[in-house]
Amino acid sequence: MAIERTLSIIKPDGVAKNVIGKILTRFEDAGLKIVAGRMMKLDESLAGSFYEVHKERPFYKDLVAYMVSGPVFVSVLEGENAVLKNRELMGATDPKEAAPGTIRADFADSIDANTVHGSDSLENAKKEITFFFSDL
């Protein structure tokens, strides 16, 4: 298996619930290393271009508004199969459908406030990492 890197964002609800440490511990316990990390307050332009792929979706405006509603914690995770491993730890997009024991099942309130973002492919992970950490 290949060593990969993926981008994680702890969304405003995760930061507000004071569970950054608990979420990062899940990554570490699963064998993922946090190789970069930064607390940020996104603005509309940054959040809008990050979620550009969803521009035509009906939830795009709400998604951007939500992502700028409070600070977020952005990090880069590294390890074997990091992209898929992170997606498994996160659980399904809608917390009602997320498997027990996943981050979204345990911490998320709704499909909007679903606690974490994670890259969905190696290709997107590379783009998303460069988007936030131009030196990586």
- Annotated catalytic residues are 117
Give how many residues touch ligand ADP by CB under 6 A.
9
> Measured from the CB of residue 59, what is the shortest distance to Mg ion in angstroms?
12
- Packed helices 122-132 and 82-90: angle between N→C axes, nearest 10 degrees: 90
> Measured from the CB of residue 63, what is the shortest distance to ligand ADP in angstroms?
4
If one asks whether residue 85 binds ligand ADP (CB under 6 A), the answer comes out as no
Which amino acid is present at 94?
D
Assess contact for 117 and 93: CB atoms under 8 A: no
Largest CA distance in the chain: 38
Give strand pairing partners of 80: 3
Q: What angle do CA 69, 74, 44 make, to 5 degrees?
A: 35
If one asks whether residue 93 binds ligand ADP (CB under 6 A), the answer comes out as yes
Per partner kind, with CB cut-offs from 5 to 8 A, the member of ligand ADP, Mg ion, none near residue 114 is: ligand ADP
> Measured from the CB of residue 122, what is the shortest distance to Mg ion in angstroms?
14
DSSP count for the chain of H helices, then E strands:
7, 4
Choose the stretch contacting ligand ADP; rule: CB under 6 A; options: 24-32, 34-42, 114-122, 125-133: 114-122
If one asks whether residue 112 binds Mg ion (CB under 5 A), the answer comes out as no
Footprint of ligand ADP (CB under 6 A): 54, 59, 63, 93, 111-112, 114, 117, 120
